[in-house]
Amino acid sequence: MKQKLIRNANQSDKIQVLNFCKNSFSWGDYIQDVWDSWLSEGNLLVIQNPNPVGICHAFFSKTQLWIEGIRVDPNYRRQGFASELVKYVESIAKEKQILFSLMLIETNNSPSLLMAKNLNYQIFQTWNYYSLAPQITNHHKIKVGNISDNYEISHYVKSWRWLPFDDKELFSLSSQNKIIFSDKSGEISIAILSDSEHFDKIMIVTLFSGSSSNTLELISYIQNYGANQNYKKIQLLTREKLPFLDNLEYKISFNLMQKLLS
């Protein structure tokens, strides 16, 4: 029997991998839409036995490993392939002296949550995904720019990666007017705007919801901004449950899993 091998993916793996990914969820999968981008970025890994039976993609920042796209051929599940992929990218992160590893798992995906917990990951935060329709609106009062140093933000979402929010990111996003907030009435609400790097005309919003009135001001502005910039979709990620609105649709919730590597 040939030994299992973890290696960098190549273009010749694409057809076989996409074949076992196409029914990962009830709605299908997105791997076919990001494969070329991830391959170009690097750190797209396959595990073969002897043919490819699993994949994952790793994204390294200065202090954090982000693990995404873990997939295993249904015929080879419950044999530890996903765990081996995770351990492999963790070993790379440790060599880089990276402190934390994070991954995102749907709250009702019991097998993946169990795998993560067996690898000593813990639930760090729970996030909710909403779809917001772009729409011309006229009633919103928001502010653009820096935010109070007293408001602590650990991560923001960029292309469905929860990235550390540090002084460098704060300066970059502020200078691009990508941070908006409302402190009109009650606790401040903050939103960070970004474009999807993998899908055209998709806006991704990280929302930190304070008072309902401030949050509604931001949502109104975001809808209007999205319509004026011709976005097709607005994907909104927040830790809070949002009020019912005609153009705001709750989709799903995720656990942000974290592990200390040092």
Say if CB 194 and CB 178 are below 8 A apart: yes
CATH, range 5-98: 3.40.630.30
Sequence-ordered list of residues with C-beta below 8 angstroms from that of 77, at least 6 positions apart, any chain: 111
DSSP result, 166-227: -HHHHHHHHHTT-EEEE-SSSS-EEEEEEE-SSSTTEEEEEEE--SHHHHHHHHHHHHHHHH
Q: Give the whole-angstrom CA distance, residue 27 versus residue 178.
A: 31
**Which tens digit of pLDDT belongs to each residue from 17-69?**
999 998 888 778 899 999 999 999 999 999 999 899 999 999 999 999 999 99
Q: Give the whole-angstrom CA distance, residue 144 versus residue 187.
A: 17
Q: What is the pTM for the complete model shown? A: 0.93
pLDDT of residue 27: 79
Burial of residue 207, with CB atoms counted within 10 A of its CB: 0-12 exposed, 13-18 middle, 19 or more buried: buried
pLDDT of residue 147: 74
Is residue 150's pLDDT more than 80?
no
Sequence-ordered list of residues with C-beta below 8 angstroms from that of 157, at least 6 positions apart, any chain: 163, 192, 194, 204, 205, 206, 237
pLDDT of residue 262: 82
Is residue 214's pLDDT more than 80?
yes
**Which tens digit of pLDDT belongs to each residue from 176-212?**
999 999 999 899 999 999 999 889 999 999 999 999 9
